[in-house]
């Protein structure tokens, strides 16, 4: 068994344990392998071990891997900050975009998505910890942005994503993830049907799963530490 395959098994067990401790079904939490900076051959190894969904943050690097691994039928998620001049390739090469934080980016993705492709699945990134350096819309500005995104053709607004400020304090981790869940629930109470909370990474996924994460984004615990 390869090291990547072994780490995937460990991660699956970890997610399952966290879900059961939270009174949830393990199948309700999807693992997104964060594969940015890792070569295509490592992704192929993970795919052979059963991993289907991969998250990328750098457009040109991702396009090369998507082409190299086209025979595997993988699901590609764009999870990084997205510039306006990079929306066209993302609109058509990816199935998901997690990092929408302004309406103009969503509009461009909508306009540029090939009409023959299924709708692009999108999440709005929310800055729940208020860091000035962090991407994401503020909680106060979220409802207006969500209404605008949900009205666009060729996009399906699935939910919310966050990357909170790192902290070892589990209570703080849970409070931040809970705030994203409450924002999702608020939007649903206003008539939306959001089913996705993209939150939690290698160091805090247990807290995220306890607060309702449906997608956890894990890189280091699968591929190892970057040089």
Return phi, psi of residue 125, to 5°: -85, 130
Per-residue pLDDT of the chain (227 residues; tens, 9 = 90+): 579 999 999 999 999 999 999 999 999 999 999 999 999 999 999 999 999 999 999 999 999 999 999 999 999 999 999 988 999 999 999 999 999 999 999 999 999 999 999 999 999 999 998 777 678 999 999 999 999 999 999 999 999 999 999 999 999 999 999 999 999 999 999 999 999 999 999 999 999 999 999 999 999 999 987 65
Question: By the 8 A CB rule, do 95 and 120 touch?
Answer: yes
Q: Which residues pair with 196 in a beta bridge?
A: 159
Its pTM stands at: 0.95
Whole-angstrom distance, CA of residue 91 vs CA of residue 152? 13
Q: Which residue has the tokens 């805090």?
A: 204
pLDDT at residue 60, as a whole number: 95
Which of 51, 50, 49, 54 lies closest to 5, judged by CA?
Answer: 49
Q: Could you tell me which CATH number the domain at 3-223 has? A: 3.20.20.10
**Domain range list for the chain:** 3-223
Instruction: Give the count of beta carbons closer than 10 Å to the beta carbon of residue 170.
Output: 12
Whole-angstrom distance, CA of residue 205 vs CA of residue 213? 8
Query: What is the token pair recorded at 4?
Result: 């990547």
């Amino acid at each position: 068994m390869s090291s990547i395959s072994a780490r995937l098994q460990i991660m699956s067990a970890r997610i399952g344990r966290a879900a059961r401790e939270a009174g949830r079904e393990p199948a309700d939490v999807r693992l997104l392998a964060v594969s940015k900076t890792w070569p295509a051959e490592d992704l192929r190894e993970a795919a052979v071990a059963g991993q289907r969904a991969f998250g990328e943050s750098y457009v040109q690097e991702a396009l090369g891997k998507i082409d190299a691994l086209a025979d595997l039928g993988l699901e590609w998620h764009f999870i990084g900050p997205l510039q306006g001049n990079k929306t066209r390739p993302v609109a058509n090469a990816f199935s998901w975009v997690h990092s929408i934080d302004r309406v103009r980016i969503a509009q461009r993705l909508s306009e540029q998505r090939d009409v023959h492709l299924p709708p692009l699945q999108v999440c709005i990134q929310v800055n729940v910890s208020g860091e000035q350096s962090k991407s994401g819309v503020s909680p106060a500005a979220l409802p207006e942005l969500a209404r605008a995104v949900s009205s666009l053709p060729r996009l399906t607004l699935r939910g919310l994503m966050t990357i909170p400020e790192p902290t070892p304090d589990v209570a703080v981790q849970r409070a931040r993830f809970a705030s994203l869940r409450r924002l999702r629930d608020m939007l649903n109470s206003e008539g939306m049907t959001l089913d996705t909370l993209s939150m939690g990474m290698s160091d805090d996924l247990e807290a995220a799963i306890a607060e309702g994460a449906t997608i956890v984004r894990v890189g280091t615990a699968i591929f190892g530490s970057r040089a």
